[in-house]
Amino acid sequence: MAYNFLGLVNDGALRLNETQLTSSNFDTAKGFYATLKEAVNSSIRHINQAHFFWPYNHNKEEITLTAGVSRYAVPDNTKYVDFSSFRVKRNTNLNVGEGRRLVQMTYIEYLDKYIDQEYETNTAVGGVPRNVARTPDENFAIVPMPDKAYEIEYEFYMEPVDLESYDDVPTVPERFRHVVVDGMMYYAYMFRDNIELAGMAQNKFENGIKNMRTLLINENAYFRSF
């Protein structure tokens, strides 16, 4: 079966000896199938909450700055922004000879030293960005304010949205499909008040998450002489 919302729901239906759904009746399926759908999303939510920085939720954003504008918003699905990753891209047309990383400053420092740039109407007094500050609303401000349409890149971790359509694909890699299914079965057995099987599925689910953390997160740092 394909690795998508329909395939995962049918994995559960197969284990529970229920009729499998198709792409044509998936959206209208009610009753226990609605429970299986929610169980899939609950399993994926549980996995994503088990570790903050799953590498498969890592992403990169590129924006073009607007001359005279200091503050910018992050994507709606952002969980965490890596402020050490901000950089201005090389662009010889804008006299940016080489890409460079922006140095993070505190929001208080931004307010103390650079807040007046938000009221400046002469965009020509701006320049190539050097610093970035995290704002209280979890967005960011650039210093100095740009005087041209510079390009900025930064990296962030996404907050995945729930699956809805039959062909929606989870961000969790397919090689961990069994972990998603074990989590789904835990929620499905709880719905059916089968505490014994729910406990067994939960144990497999938690062990699967531990294995994911070992494979995707744990690192061994090695030092060598030069």
CA distance 167 to 144: 45
With cut-offs at 50, 70 and 90, classify the pLDDT of residue 222.
very low
CA distance 19 to 151: 52
With cut-offs at 50, 70 and 90, classify the pLDDT of residue 58.
very high
Q: What is the pLDDT of residues 163-217, one digit of tens each?
A: 999 999 999 999 999 999 999 999 999 988 999 999 999 999 999 999 999 999 8
CA distance 89 to 153: 7
Would you state the pLDDT for residue 217?
87
Would you state the pLDDT for residue 219?
54
Q: Is the pLDDT of residue 226 over 50?
A: no
Would you state the pLDDT for residue 76?
93
Would you state the pLDDT for residue 218?
76
With cut-offs at 50, 70 and 90, classify the pLDDT of residue 1.
confident
Q: What is the pLDDT of residues 8-39, one digit of tens each?
A: 999 999 999 999 999 999 999 999 999 999 99
Would you state the pLDDT for residue 221?
44
Token pair listed for 63: 């924006």
Q: Is the pLDDT of residue 141 over 60?
A: yes
Whole-model pTM? 0.83
| Choice among 2-6, 31-35, 37-41, 105-109 with the minimum mean pLDDT | 31-35
